Amino acid sequence: MIDTHCHIYLEHFKDDIAEVLNRAASNSITEILMPAIDFDSVSAMNQLSHPDIRFHKMAGVHPCEINNSRCNLEASLLAACAAKDIVAVGETGLDYYWSTDFVPQQKISLNNHCKVAKTLKKPIVLHNREATSDLLGIIEQQQDGTLTGVWHCFNGTVDEGKRAIDLGLYLGIGGVLTFKNGGVDKTVAELPLEYMILETDAPYLTPAPHRGKRNEPAYVKIVAEKLSQIFSLPLNEIDRITSENAKRLFPLIQ
């Protein structure tokens, strides 16, 4: 299985990283894709290794890291993302939950990330919190037929999911799928599995029954099992389809 969104390089894992990765490998996780938070993230990603897992790096600036002094970053972003071992641009996006103080700067950053993604022909990874209309509006403006990417941690409506797919996006399905009263499972059931990829967002958004504890890449199997129930398909078929989707979206992980 492929965990397409995991912050395994963060301090949350520094004390037991070997055990965490061994659990991931024992749960059939073979690939981990790591979205950046800021320009320092890649150096932390470079420290990771495991004999049975391949790690793939992204470069970008999270919307919650944007402020007045960092909004004009297109040149720096292009240089960081142009490296051959960078598989995607992000994570970027919009976040109106924590603060709306820097919304204009977040929009500038998202547009810059889109431009870089198109220039480099690499997919974009999108964070979205309470900003769906603005986010999809920017993607629609930027879409020239070459932009691809993923709505990470999808939790929108059926219509929003269909619009995202029509705009060239895949849907990142993670722990929120398992939340009892989240409703994401009902929405996902009405959307095409051919546009879904698995993720954890570890150490965040831990799936049931482990909510309240640190998330980790081994738990991507829990998400896959939930999809198996929703679509009435064997687990290995969910693995096959979502892995093929991930490799189609992220060609550099082949």
Q: What six digits make up the tokens of 250? A: 């992220």
pLDDT at 35: 98
What pairing do the DSSP bridges indicate for beta strands 31-34 and 149-151?
unpaired
Identify the pLDDT of residue 150. Answer: 98
Q: Return the pLDDT at 62.
A: 94
Tens digits of residue pLDDT in 131-170: 999 999 999 999 999 999 999 999 999 999 999 999 999 9
Beta strands in the chain (DSSP E): 2-3, 31-34, 54-59, 86-95, 124-129, 149-151, 169-173, 196-198
Q: What are phi and psi of 40, to 5 degrees?
A: -90, -10
64-87 pLDDT tens trace = 988 744 555 788 899 999 999 999
What does the pLDDT read at residue 161? Answer: 98
Instruction: Decide: 124 and 148 in contact? Cβ < 8 Å.
Output: yes
Question: What pLDDT score was predicted for residue 122?
Answer: 98
Report pLDDT for 73. 77
User: Could you tell me the pTM of the whole model?
Assistant: 0.96
For residue 182, the model assigns a pLDDT of 86
Residues of the chain with pLDDT under 50: 68-69
- In order of their start, the domains of the chain are 2-253 (3.20.20.140)
At residue 254, the pLDDT reads 83
